Chain A
Amino acid sequence: MKTLHIEYYALLREQAGVKQQTVQSETRTPAELYSQLAAKHGFSLGTEQLRAVVNEEFVNWDRQLNDGDRVVFIPPVAGG
């Protein structure tokens, strides 16, 4: 079981109803973690529309998650 710290922004923050949360999870990858969180919070976005960030680096969805990782899912951006 890993402790994972998750931050939410924009649409995901509103749908989660929180800005951040810490979860105990057995998920192995950002893809598995997102799937678990999406089921819990009812996220409308799919992984094909998001990018995953772990410890402030963009990562592949199948990267191995480690205890204490800080995970952020990036919705489609709209700066400028």
Chain B
Amino acid sequence: MRTLFKISYDDDIRLFPDRWSMLVYAALLALAFVLPMLLGEFYLGEVTNVLIWAIAGLGLMLLTGQTGQVSLGHAAFLAIGCYTNTILIELGLPFIIAFPLAGVITGLVGAIIAVPALRLHGIYLAIATIALSVLADDIIVLLDPWTGGVSGKFPEAITIFGLEIERWTMPTRFYYLVLVVTIICTLFYRNLLRSPLGRAFAAVRDSEVSATAMGVHISRTKGTAFGLSCMITGWAGALMGYYAGAFNNETFSLVISITLLMMIVIGGLGSIHGAFFGAVVVAFLPQALSILKGAVIGGGVAIPGLETGVFGLILILFILFEPMGLYGRWLKIRTWFELFPFARKDMFRRQKSYLKTERLR
């Protein structure tokens, strides 16, 4: 049993609550760095995929989990990040400048789009972002001279200070690149939550009315959240482009947007762990399903829509029985061990709530 005694206000916002958790995360980091020596190239590629999805998940988590705004259009921002990065590099900018710039541009575009979207809330925002995701496909085709239209684009190999990085021939180097970006994004996210802005995000999520009463500027906060979220998503999009090796207007479809949202719900809304847990599920579910299918009815038989169907079913079960996602389950198990034998069954029971509308009639 481990007990935390908080003796100063700093304890609440410290990066690591105590020495033990710092040790755990240091071990995790060390493991991530020696991973290429432990895994083969195929699995290293899979882990890279997980990390890229996790970055995209962090981006959406900032908006949906932290600020409470549902976006079903984040595939559009993945696309913007991906195309911007490739176009900037084709214009002759070095990767080390083009890549951060791609994220920043995506963030700016997101913030501009957010200005009208801020007047919307709840379902209206979700529907507006669906429209955005559908439109992105058509707009990419219309911008043929820049985007390559239906035939798509192939990103060039990355060069950082003369060091060449390519996804297929040098998976280890690509893995380290993605890992570094992941660590930067995670630290950025974690520190953002400790800042007044991060607190404002949570206030807006929990109640807009009370946040206004506390002096939080609602639309400015939401706009900032949208911009920052799009920035991280843009970076993930650029990495996704490198990972896929080729992309066109159909790569970043509405299905990707929906998968991204479902991923963070399965992982656990409002937690950094959730983005990573969800990414693991999204990346490994297709493999697990194909192995399972091969064992049950033999390989070769194609069942269209199986992956999305099973994914949907898993999601329904999670929303019904574990609304806090995988991270919530992990939290419960951990608390049970930490408090052993004092954990109570009702510790995580949620307060009963009733819905009220803003409609008049």
Partners in one complex: no
